[in-house]
Amino acid sequence: MDKAKEKIRAKARELGFALFGVTPADPLQGAQFYARWVALGYAGAMDYLKRNIDKRADVRALVPAARSVLCLGMDYWQPTPEAVDDRPRGRFAAYARGDDYHEVIKGRLFALWDFMREEIDSDLQGRVYVDTAPVLERELAQRAGLGWWGKNTCLINKRRGSHFFLAEIVSTLVLPPDEPATDHCGTCTRCMDACPTDAFPEPYVLDAQRCISYLTIELKGSIPRALRKGMGDWVYGCDICQDVCPWNRRVAQSSEPAYRSRPGVERPDLIEWMGLDGEAFNNMFRRSPAKRPKRRGVLRNVAVALGNSGDARAVPPLIDALQDEEALVRGHAAWGLGQLGGEAAHAALRARLAAEEDVEVRAEIERALSADHGGRATDDGEVS
Ligand code: SF4
Ligand code: SF4
């Protein structure tokens, strides 16, 4: 047993990192796989993932004298309660219901780094990363024994499932490495079968452009019409391919208070959220990862979820949203009204069309109106 490693492991546990492993700072094997993934367009509009592809395969591009990488995992999982009433409600990914994990974990990483310099070696050089390093962090974590790259492309740990954040400390410290984790997906394909938008072109490969997480968080503009129905009631991220994974069956609730759900976020009240103004949104999501898509992105998603709800109570808030200052919100509200149909929806769409100047919104309204009227718009806007 290496004393320095055990001291660091104990400190990491004290700081809330349930998973801990070490791998040498050697080049990674996954660069070719990653380059192919980018070349196939599966990164969508996430341009930051397309840069520095060569550098991603070697942590020494980040810390030239690096000798090891400490890989860490922090649980975040929170149960999703059943809705308490029959109002139209959305779903919100478990990882994002509390405070922004970047902020939470960064503080802990710096505390661990300070500990390493104080207790192990004051001359250490290195850097800490949480979801921010341009490196293939899941391969690093797999090599450090934290888990295997599952067919759903999440890192899966036999004991703790996949609901954890990854973080790394790349440094000049030499530590004995851990055994790499091995694949335990076997013949299972549950995640691929359950994905509502068919986002896995093959096992272990995610086409982010089709993934609800990408569509609701990363995508800045309009959600492709063909994928809107598949989004169901998700308004921020999606947990389906993790929830169905047998390795998450016994996952424990995170004890980290910062990841506890903010009030109303576990099962968002879609009607209420459609009316969030800028101030209410900022109050609700201060220091939350949900700031990323901004109010207009979240309300775009809410409009889609209301359109998918099949609930007549969704019509009035969507009619109000036709007046939203954001064209993105107005356009998706029009789509939602097209899905729900009915006289009030169509009268409001016609009235808005007379005043609307944005070309994309006009096109959305015209498609919604063409989805006449005991039927609903199909994915490409044709009458079903
Ligand atoms: Fe599919 Fe949801 Fe998993 Fe994305 S997060 S791959 S949409 S199941
Ligand atoms: Fe692997 Fe099955 Fe989990 Fe998918 S659901 S990641 S195939 S074990």
What are the two backbone dihedrals, phi and then psi, of residue 246, each rounded to the nearest 5 degrees? -60, -25
Of 180, 240, 158, which Cα lies nearest the Cα of 206?
A: 240
Q: Look at residue 360 and give its three-state secondary structure.
A: helix
Q: Which atom of ligand 2 is nearest to the CA of 154?
A: 6
Can you tell me the distance from the alpha carbon of 4 to that of 7, in angstroms, rounded to the nearest whole number?
A: 5
Catalytic hit among 2, 114, 131, 379: 131
The tokens for 27 are: 């080049």
Q: Mean per-residue pLDDT for 280-305?
A: 94
Q: Look at residue 22 and give its three-state secondary structure.
A: strand
Q: Rounded to the nearest whole angstrom, what is the distance from the C-alpha of residue 153 to the centroid of ligand 2?
A: 9
Q: Mean per-residue pLDDT for 92-109?
A: 95
* % pLDDT > 90, the chain: 81
> pTM of the entire structure?
0.93
The DSSP bridge partners found for residue 202 are 205
Sheet holding 126-129, edge to edge: 19-24, 68-75, 164-171, 126-129
Ligand 1 test: best mutation among 42, 213, 235, most atoms within 8 Å of CB? 213
> Which distant-in-sequence residues (6+ apart) come within 8 Å of 320 by Cβ?
274, 275
Q: How confident is the model at residue 372 (pLDDT cuts 50, 70, 90)?
A: low
Note the pLDDT tens digit of each residue in 171-185.
999 999 999 999 999
- Residue 131 annotated to the active site: yes
Note the pLDDT tens digit of each residue in 310-355.
999 999 999 999 999 999 999 999 999 999 999 999 999 999 999 9
245 Cβ inside 6 Å of ligand 2: yes
Q: How confident is the model at residue 383 (pLDDT cuts 50, 70, 90)?
A: very low
Note the pLDDT tens digit of each residue in 269-284.
999 999 999 999 999 9
Is-contact 231 308, C-beta < 8 A? yes
